[in-house]
Structure 1
Amino acid sequence: MVDSKVPELQALAPVADYLFGDDVVQTSDPGVRSIADRLLGESVDRTDYARRAFEFVRDEVAHSWDADDPRVTVTAGEVLESRVGLCYAKSHLLAAVLRVGGVPTALCYQWLVDDGYYMLHGLVAVSLEGRWHRLDARGNKAGVDAQFDLDVERLAWPVRPELGERDFPTLHVSPPPQLIRALRSVDDIRSLATGGLGVLPDPEPA
Protein backbone atom coordinates (compact mmCIF):
# COMPACT_ATOMS: atom_id res chain seq x y z
CA MET A 1 0.00 0.00 0.00
CA VAL A 2 1.25 3.48 -0.89
CA ASP A 3 0.14 6.48 1.15
CA SER A 4 -1.60 8.82 -1.30
CA LYS A 5 -0.72 11.82 0.87
CA VAL A 6 3.02 11.39 0.35
CA PRO A 7 4.53 13.91 -2.10
CA GLU A 8 6.31 12.60 -5.17
CA LEU A 9 9.89 12.63 -3.95
CA GLN A 10 12.63 13.78 -6.32
CA ALA A 11 16.12 12.30 -6.11
CA LEU A 12 19.02 14.56 -7.11
CA ALA A 13 21.39 11.68 -7.86
CA PRO A 14 21.49 7.93 -8.54
CA VAL A 15 20.41 5.82 -5.57
CA ALA A 16 23.99 4.59 -5.02
CA ASP A 17 25.11 8.17 -4.27
CA TYR A 18 22.95 8.13 -1.15
CA LEU A 19 25.31 5.58 0.42
CA PHE A 20 28.31 7.91 0.63
CA GLY A 21 29.23 10.10 3.58
CA ASP A 22 30.59 13.62 3.86
CA ASP A 23 31.85 15.96 6.58
CA VAL A 24 28.38 16.16 8.15
CA VAL A 25 26.86 12.76 7.41
CA GLN A 26 29.98 11.09 8.76
CA THR A 27 29.90 7.47 7.67
CA SER A 28 33.60 7.14 8.59
CA ASP A 29 33.15 8.27 12.21
CA PRO A 30 34.27 5.41 14.53
CA GLY A 31 31.30 5.83 16.85
CA VAL A 32 28.85 5.80 13.96
CA ARG A 33 30.44 2.67 12.55
CA SER A 34 30.38 0.99 15.96
CA ILE A 35 26.64 1.63 16.33
CA ALA A 36 26.05 0.40 12.79
CA ASP A 37 28.03 -2.79 13.43
CA ARG A 38 26.03 -3.47 16.57
CA LEU A 39 22.69 -2.92 14.86
CA LEU A 40 23.72 -4.98 11.85
CA GLY A 41 24.55 -7.85 14.18
CA GLU A 42 21.08 -7.67 15.72
CA SER A 43 19.18 -7.39 12.43
CA VAL A 44 17.72 -10.04 10.17
CA ASP A 45 17.60 -7.95 6.96
CA ARG A 46 18.00 -4.40 5.66
CA THR A 47 14.46 -3.36 6.56
CA ASP A 48 14.89 -4.60 10.11
CA TYR A 49 18.24 -2.83 10.30
CA ALA A 50 16.63 0.42 9.11
CA ARG A 51 13.91 0.10 11.73
CA ARG A 52 16.46 -0.51 14.51
CA ALA A 53 18.60 2.44 13.38
CA PHE A 54 15.55 4.70 13.23
CA GLU A 55 14.39 3.71 16.71
CA PHE A 56 17.89 4.14 18.12
CA VAL A 57 18.18 7.73 16.89
CA ARG A 58 14.55 8.57 17.69
CA ASP A 59 14.65 7.19 21.25
CA GLU A 60 18.30 7.31 22.38
CA VAL A 61 19.19 10.80 21.15
CA ALA A 62 17.22 13.62 22.78
CA HIS A 63 15.77 16.51 20.83
CA SER A 64 17.47 19.73 21.95
CA TRP A 65 14.23 21.57 22.55
CA ASP A 66 12.57 18.72 24.44
CA ALA A 67 15.66 18.32 26.64
CA ASP A 68 16.20 22.09 27.04
CA ASP A 69 19.84 21.43 26.07
CA PRO A 70 21.88 24.33 24.65
CA ARG A 71 24.69 22.32 23.07
CA VAL A 72 25.24 22.86 19.35
CA THR A 73 25.52 19.55 17.51
CA VAL A 74 25.57 19.29 13.74
CA THR A 75 27.63 16.35 12.48
CA ALA A 76 26.75 12.71 12.98
CA GLY A 77 29.70 12.23 15.32
CA GLU A 78 28.79 15.26 17.45
CA VAL A 79 25.20 14.11 17.80
CA LEU A 80 26.19 10.58 18.76
CA GLU A 81 28.74 11.75 21.32
CA SER A 82 26.40 14.29 22.94
CA ARG A 83 23.21 12.23 22.47
CA VAL A 84 21.29 15.41 21.68
CA GLY A 85 20.42 17.48 18.62
CA LEU A 86 17.72 19.31 16.70
CA CYS A 87 15.80 17.43 14.02
CA TYR A 88 18.43 18.26 11.39
CA ALA A 89 21.28 16.97 13.51
CA LYS A 90 19.42 13.79 14.39
CA SER A 91 18.76 13.27 10.67
CA HIS A 92 22.48 13.59 9.95
CA LEU A 93 23.23 10.83 12.46
CA LEU A 94 20.43 8.59 11.21
CA ALA A 95 21.52 9.03 7.60
CA ALA A 96 25.12 8.15 8.51
CA VAL A 97 24.16 5.00 10.43
CA LEU A 98 21.80 3.85 7.69
CA ARG A 99 24.30 4.47 4.91
CA VAL A 100 26.98 2.48 6.75
CA GLY A 101 24.51 -0.39 6.88
CA GLY A 102 23.87 -0.27 3.13
CA VAL A 103 20.53 1.57 3.18
CA PRO A 104 20.46 4.51 0.72
CA THR A 105 19.33 7.51 2.76
CA ALA A 106 18.47 11.07 1.75
CA LEU A 107 17.89 14.25 3.73
CA CYS A 108 14.62 16.11 3.18
CA TYR A 109 12.66 18.97 4.69
CA GLN A 110 9.26 20.47 5.49
CA TRP A 111 7.91 23.95 6.24
CA LEU A 112 5.75 23.80 9.36
CA VAL A 113 3.94 26.42 11.44
CA ASP A 114 4.27 26.71 15.23
CA ASP A 115 3.06 29.66 17.31
CA GLY A 116 2.77 31.75 14.16
CA TYR A 117 6.33 31.01 13.01
CA TYR A 118 7.25 29.10 9.90
CA MET A 119 9.80 26.47 10.87
CA LEU A 120 12.07 24.34 8.75
CA HIS A 121 11.89 20.70 9.83
CA GLY A 122 14.41 18.01 8.86
CA LEU A 123 13.83 14.31 8.28
CA VAL A 124 15.20 11.49 6.14
CA ALA A 125 14.02 9.24 3.32
CA VAL A 126 15.22 5.68 2.80
CA SER A 127 15.21 3.61 -0.38
CA LEU A 128 13.72 0.23 0.53
CA GLU A 129 11.41 -2.19 -1.24
CA GLY A 130 11.79 -0.37 -4.53
CA ARG A 131 10.84 3.16 -3.50
CA TRP A 132 11.63 6.03 -1.15
CA HIS A 133 10.00 6.28 2.29
CA ARG A 134 10.23 9.29 4.60
CA LEU A 135 11.04 8.77 8.29
CA ASP A 136 11.07 11.30 11.13
CA ALA A 137 13.40 10.57 14.07
CA ARG A 138 13.01 13.94 15.87
CA GLY A 139 11.77 12.10 18.97
CA ASN A 140 8.29 11.39 20.29
CA LYS A 141 6.45 13.24 23.04
CA ALA A 142 2.88 14.13 23.89
CA GLY A 143 1.14 14.75 20.59
CA VAL A 144 4.00 13.34 18.49
CA ASP A 145 4.06 9.67 17.50
CA ALA A 146 6.47 9.13 14.60
CA GLN A 147 6.98 5.48 13.67
CA PHE A 148 8.90 3.32 11.21
CA ASP A 149 6.32 2.34 8.61
CA LEU A 150 6.98 1.54 4.95
CA ASP A 151 3.28 1.43 4.06
CA VAL A 152 1.81 4.62 5.52
CA GLU A 153 3.85 7.66 6.56
CA ARG A 154 3.86 8.24 10.31
CA LEU A 155 5.79 11.47 10.66
CA ALA A 156 5.93 13.81 13.64
CA TRP A 157 3.84 16.40 11.82
CA PRO A 158 2.03 15.83 8.51
CA VAL A 159 1.74 19.14 6.69
CA ARG A 160 -1.37 21.30 6.83
CA PRO A 161 -1.58 23.05 3.43
CA GLU A 162 -4.36 25.34 4.64
CA LEU A 163 -1.80 26.94 6.99
CA GLY A 164 0.81 27.34 4.29
CA GLU A 165 2.80 24.30 5.38
CA ARG A 166 4.43 22.21 2.68
CA ASP A 167 6.69 19.29 1.96
CA PHE A 168 9.87 19.84 -0.01
CA PRO A 169 10.09 16.92 -2.45
CA THR A 170 13.85 17.09 -3.11
CA LEU A 171 16.00 14.28 -1.70
CA HIS A 172 19.37 15.77 -0.75
CA VAL A 173 22.57 13.73 -0.68
CA SER A 174 24.16 16.29 1.69
CA PRO A 175 22.55 18.97 3.85
CA PRO A 176 22.24 22.38 2.18
CA PRO A 177 25.32 24.50 3.07
CA GLN A 178 23.15 27.44 4.15
CA LEU A 179 21.47 25.23 6.75
CA ILE A 180 24.82 24.15 8.19
CA ARG A 181 25.99 27.77 8.34
CA ALA A 182 22.83 28.72 10.23
CA LEU A 183 23.27 25.92 12.75
CA ARG A 184 26.92 26.87 13.29
CA SER A 185 26.05 30.55 13.72
CA VAL A 186 24.59 30.15 17.23
CA ASP A 187 26.08 29.38 20.63
CA ASP A 188 22.81 28.10 22.11
CA ILE A 189 20.95 25.78 19.73
CA ARG A 190 17.70 26.40 21.60
CA SER A 191 17.62 29.90 20.12
CA LEU A 192 16.73 28.32 16.79
CA ALA A 193 13.85 26.43 18.34
CA THR A 194 12.13 29.57 19.65
CA GLY A 195 11.33 31.26 16.37
CA GLY A 196 14.74 31.27 14.75
CA LEU A 197 13.89 28.20 12.71
CA GLY A 198 11.47 30.38 10.81
CA VAL A 199 14.32 32.41 9.35
CA LEU A 200 16.48 29.47 8.31
CA PRO A 201 17.08 29.48 4.55
CA ASP A 202 14.65 27.69 2.30
CA PRO A 203 16.58 24.59 1.12
CA GLU A 204 14.80 24.82 -2.22
CA PRO A 205 14.48 28.48 -3.19
CA ALA A 206 11.95 29.26 -5.87
Structure 2
Amino acid sequence: MQLIQSTPDLSAYLAADEVVDHHHPLVRETAARLAENVDDSYDYARAAFEFVRDAIPHSADTGDPRVTWRASDVIAQRTGICYAKAHALAALLRAEDIPTALCYQKFEAVHGLVAVRFKGAWHRLDPRGGKPGAGARFSLTGEGLAFTTDPDSGELDYPTLYAEPHPLVVRALKAAPDRAHLSRTLPTAL
Protein backbone atom coordinates (compact mmCIF):
# COMPACT_ATOMS: atom_id res chain seq x y z
CA MET A 1 0.00 0.00 0.00
CA GLN A 2 1.24 3.47 -0.90
CA LEU A 3 1.27 5.66 2.24
CA ILE A 4 0.61 9.36 1.61
CA GLN A 5 1.80 12.18 3.85
CA SER A 6 -0.97 14.70 4.61
CA THR A 7 1.71 17.38 4.43
CA PRO A 8 5.01 17.26 2.53
CA ASP A 9 6.80 19.03 5.42
CA LEU A 10 8.55 16.25 7.35
CA SER A 11 9.04 18.54 10.35
CA ALA A 12 5.27 18.39 10.93
CA TYR A 13 5.77 14.73 11.90
CA LEU A 14 8.12 15.82 14.71
CA ALA A 15 5.86 18.51 16.18
CA ALA A 16 4.26 18.54 19.60
CA ASP A 17 0.62 19.52 20.06
CA GLU A 18 -2.12 19.18 22.67
CA VAL A 19 -2.47 15.44 22.03
CA VAL A 20 1.05 14.34 21.06
CA ASP A 21 2.60 16.36 23.88
CA HIS A 22 6.18 15.12 23.70
CA HIS A 23 7.38 18.29 25.43
CA HIS A 24 5.66 17.13 28.66
CA PRO A 25 8.14 16.21 31.44
CA LEU A 26 6.70 12.70 31.91
CA VAL A 27 7.02 11.94 28.20
CA ARG A 28 10.58 13.29 28.22
CA GLU A 29 11.51 11.27 31.34
CA THR A 30 10.03 8.10 29.87
CA ALA A 31 11.82 8.66 26.55
CA ALA A 32 15.12 9.26 28.34
CA ARG A 33 14.71 6.07 30.38
CA LEU A 34 13.92 4.04 27.25
CA ALA A 35 16.92 5.56 25.43
CA GLU A 36 19.40 4.60 28.18
CA ASN A 37 19.99 1.02 27.05
CA VAL A 38 19.80 1.31 23.27
CA ASP A 39 22.44 1.79 20.60
CA ASP A 40 20.58 3.72 17.91
CA SER A 41 17.24 5.20 16.86
CA TYR A 42 16.05 1.86 15.45
CA ASP A 43 16.61 0.14 18.82
CA TYR A 44 14.97 3.09 20.58
CA ALA A 45 11.91 2.84 18.31
CA ARG A 46 11.62 -0.86 19.14
CA ALA A 47 11.94 -0.14 22.89
CA ALA A 48 9.31 2.60 22.75
CA PHE A 49 6.96 0.38 20.72
CA GLU A 50 7.33 -2.54 23.14
CA PHE A 51 6.85 -0.24 26.14
CA VAL A 52 3.55 1.14 24.80
CA ARG A 53 2.36 -2.25 23.53
CA ASP A 54 3.24 -4.18 26.69
CA ALA A 55 3.30 -1.75 29.64
CA ILE A 56 0.18 0.24 28.77
CA PRO A 57 -2.81 -2.12 28.67
CA HIS A 58 -5.60 -1.57 26.17
CA SER A 59 -8.51 -0.39 28.32
CA ALA A 60 -11.07 -2.52 26.49
CA ASP A 61 -9.06 -5.64 27.33
CA THR A 62 -8.76 -4.78 31.02
CA GLY A 63 -12.21 -3.25 31.51
CA ASP A 64 -10.67 0.04 32.61
CA PRO A 65 -13.40 2.69 32.30
CA ARG A 66 -11.01 5.64 32.00
CA VAL A 67 -10.63 7.44 28.69
CA THR A 68 -7.21 8.87 27.97
CA TRP A 69 -6.29 10.81 24.86
CA ARG A 70 -3.26 12.99 25.60
CA ALA A 71 0.05 11.10 25.35
CA SER A 72 1.27 12.20 28.78
CA ASP A 73 -1.99 11.05 30.38
CA VAL A 74 -1.78 7.67 28.65
CA ILE A 75 1.71 7.18 30.05
CA ALA A 76 0.78 8.47 33.53
CA GLN A 77 -2.43 6.43 33.84
CA ARG A 78 -1.08 3.38 31.97
CA THR A 79 -4.29 2.83 30.03
CA GLY A 80 -5.86 3.70 26.70
CA ILE A 81 -7.56 2.39 23.60
CA CYS A 82 -5.73 2.07 20.29
CA TYR A 83 -5.86 5.79 19.51
CA ALA A 84 -4.50 6.76 22.91
CA LYS A 85 -1.72 4.19 22.71
CA ALA A 86 -0.82 5.48 19.23
CA HIS A 87 -0.66 9.03 20.63
CA ALA A 88 1.69 7.86 23.41
CA LEU A 89 3.95 6.02 20.97
CA ALA A 90 4.02 8.99 18.59
CA ALA A 91 5.04 11.28 21.47
CA LEU A 92 7.80 8.95 22.65
CA LEU A 93 9.19 8.59 19.12
CA ARG A 94 8.99 12.30 18.34
CA ALA A 95 10.70 13.04 21.66
CA GLU A 96 13.76 11.32 20.16
CA ASP A 97 13.43 13.06 16.77
CA ILE A 98 11.93 10.09 14.91
CA PRO A 99 9.33 11.32 12.40
CA THR A 100 6.03 9.70 13.33
CA ALA A 101 2.59 9.89 11.73
CA LEU A 102 -0.84 8.83 12.91
CA CYS A 103 -2.68 6.49 10.56
CA TYR A 104 -5.82 4.42 10.63
CA GLN A 105 -7.64 1.30 9.53
CA LYS A 106 -11.40 0.84 9.13
CA PHE A 107 -13.09 -2.15 10.71
CA GLU A 108 -16.46 -1.85 12.50
CA ALA A 109 -14.83 1.22 14.02
CA VAL A 110 -11.71 3.10 13.01
CA HIS A 111 -8.50 1.63 14.48
CA GLY A 112 -5.47 3.81 15.28
CA LEU A 113 -1.84 3.09 14.36
CA VAL A 114 1.39 5.00 13.83
CA ALA A 115 3.91 5.09 11.01
CA VAL A 116 7.60 5.81 11.54
CA ARG A 117 10.05 7.06 8.96
CA PHE A 118 13.34 5.24 8.67
CA LYS A 119 15.75 5.27 5.73
CA GLY A 120 13.43 7.31 3.52
CA ALA A 121 10.35 5.11 3.93
CA TRP A 122 7.31 4.98 6.19
CA HIS A 123 6.60 1.83 8.21
CA ARG A 124 3.29 1.25 10.01
CA LEU A 125 3.35 -0.02 13.59
CA ASP A 126 0.44 -1.03 15.80
CA PRO A 127 1.03 -0.62 19.55
CA ARG A 128 -2.39 -2.06 20.46
CA GLY A 129 -1.14 -5.35 21.91
CA GLY A 130 -2.78 -7.31 24.69
CA LYS A 131 -5.58 -9.18 22.97
CA PRO A 132 -5.37 -12.81 21.81
CA GLY A 133 -5.14 -12.75 18.04
CA ALA A 134 -3.73 -9.23 18.08
CA GLY A 135 -0.21 -10.18 17.17
CA ALA A 136 1.28 -6.72 16.89
CA ARG A 137 5.06 -6.78 16.56
CA PHE A 138 7.79 -4.29 15.72
CA SER A 139 8.97 -4.61 12.16
CA LEU A 140 10.46 -2.35 9.53
CA THR A 141 10.74 -5.16 6.97
CA GLY A 142 7.06 -6.04 6.80
CA GLU A 143 4.02 -5.15 8.77
CA GLY A 144 3.36 -6.71 12.15
CA LEU A 145 -0.02 -5.09 12.68
CA ALA A 146 -2.53 -6.34 15.24
CA PHE A 147 -5.17 -6.83 12.55
CA THR A 148 -5.21 -7.14 8.78
CA THR A 149 -8.08 -5.71 6.80
CA ASP A 150 -10.48 -7.70 4.65
CA PRO A 151 -11.54 -5.44 1.75
CA ASP A 152 -14.30 -7.88 0.78
CA SER A 153 -15.92 -7.13 4.15
CA GLY A 154 -15.65 -3.36 3.69
CA GLU A 155 -12.52 -3.07 5.82
CA LEU A 156 -9.69 -0.89 4.60
CA ASP A 157 -6.33 0.63 5.32
CA TYR A 158 -6.47 4.41 5.07
CA PRO A 159 -3.33 5.50 3.16
CA THR A 160 -3.09 9.00 4.68
CA LEU A 161 -0.36 9.71 7.22
CA TYR A 162 -1.48 12.50 9.53
CA ALA A 163 0.89 14.83 11.36
CA GLU A 164 -1.83 15.38 13.99
CA PRO A 165 -4.46 12.94 15.22
CA HIS A 166 -7.61 12.96 13.10
CA PRO A 167 -10.15 15.48 14.47
CA LEU A 168 -12.95 12.87 14.59
CA VAL A 169 -10.79 10.68 16.83
CA VAL A 170 -9.86 13.52 19.16
CA ARG A 171 -13.46 14.74 19.36
CA ALA A 172 -14.73 11.26 20.31
CA LEU A 173 -12.04 10.79 22.97
CA LYS A 174 -12.51 14.22 24.54
CA ALA A 175 -16.31 13.92 24.64
CA ALA A 176 -16.42 10.49 26.29
CA PRO A 177 -16.99 10.48 30.06
CA ASP A 178 -16.01 6.80 30.16
CA ARG A 179 -14.99 3.93 27.90
CA ALA A 180 -18.54 2.51 27.71
CA HIS A 181 -19.75 5.79 26.22
CA LEU A 182 -16.72 5.93 23.95
CA SER A 183 -17.40 2.45 22.58
CA ARG A 184 -20.80 3.72 21.36
CA THR A 185 -19.35 6.87 19.77
CA LEU A 186 -16.14 5.66 18.09
CA PRO A 187 -15.75 6.91 14.54
CA THR A 188 -16.82 4.28 12.01
CA ALA A 189 -15.12 6.03 9.08
CA LEU A 190 -12.83 8.98 8.38
Normalised to the residue count of structure 1, the TM-score between the two structures is: 0.88
**1:164 lines up with 2:154 in the alignment:** yes
Distance (whole Å) between structure 1 residues aligned to residue 78 and residue 97 of structure 2: 23
Q: What is the match of residue 5 of structure 2?
A: 11
In 2: Cα distance, 1:182 partner to 1:144 partner:
23
Deviant stretches of 4+, over 4 Å: none
State the 1:96 CA deviation. Answer: 0.3
CA RMSD of the aligned region, Å?
1.2
**Identity of matched residues, %:** 48
Stretch of structure 1 that moved more, 155-164 or 173-182: 173-182
The counterpart of 1:174, out of the listed 164, 169, 184, is 164
Q: Give 2:119's aligned residue.
A: 129
**5+ long unaligned stretches in structure 1:** 1-6, 113-117
Q: What CA distance in whole angstroms lies between the structure 1 residues aligned with 2:23 and 2:188?
A: 28
**What is the rounded CA distance, in whole Å, between the counterparts of 1:173 and 1:160 in structure 2?**
26
Deviation, 1:21, is: 0.7
CA distance in 2, matches of 1:38, 1:58: 16
Query: 1:190 Cα deviation (Å)?
Result: 3.2
Q: 2:131 is matched with which residue: 114, 137, 141?
A: 141
Q: Secondary structure at the match of 2:51?
A: helix
Uncovered stretches (5+) of structure 2, i.e. residues with no partner: none
Match of 1:202 in 2: 189
Q: Secondary structure at the match of 2:50?
A: helix
For residues 12 and 149 of structure 2, the distance between their equivalents in structure 1, rounded to whole angstroms, comes to 28
Amino acid at match of 1:48: D
Normalising by the residue count of structure 2, what TM-score does the alignment of the two structures yield?
Answer: 0.95
Q: Give CA deviations for 1:149-201 in whole Å, capped at 9, x if unaligned.
A: 111101000111110000111000111222211112221113333x543xx16
1:34 to 29, 36, 41: 29
Alignment partners' CA distance in 2, 1:91 and 1:137: 6
DSSP 3-state at the match of 2:164: coil
When residues 45 and 86 of structure 1 are mapped into structure 2, their CA distance, relative to the original with a 3 A threshold, is: same
In structure 2, what is the Cα distance between the partners aligned to 1:191 and 1:202? 18
Letter in 1 for 2:152: E
1:1-206 superposed matches below 5 A: 7-13=1-7, 14-112=9-107, 118-193=108-183, 195-197=184-186, 200=187, 202-203=189-190
Residues 97-127 of structure 1: per-residue CA shift (max 9 Å, x gap) = 0001111000000101xxxxx2110000000
- 1:11-35 deviations in whole A, cap 9, x for unaligned? 1222222111101000111100001
1: CA distance, partners of 2:151 / 2:188: 20
The answer (yes or no) to whether the contact 1:12–1:170 under 8 Å persists in 2 is: yes
AA of the residue aligned to 1:16: S
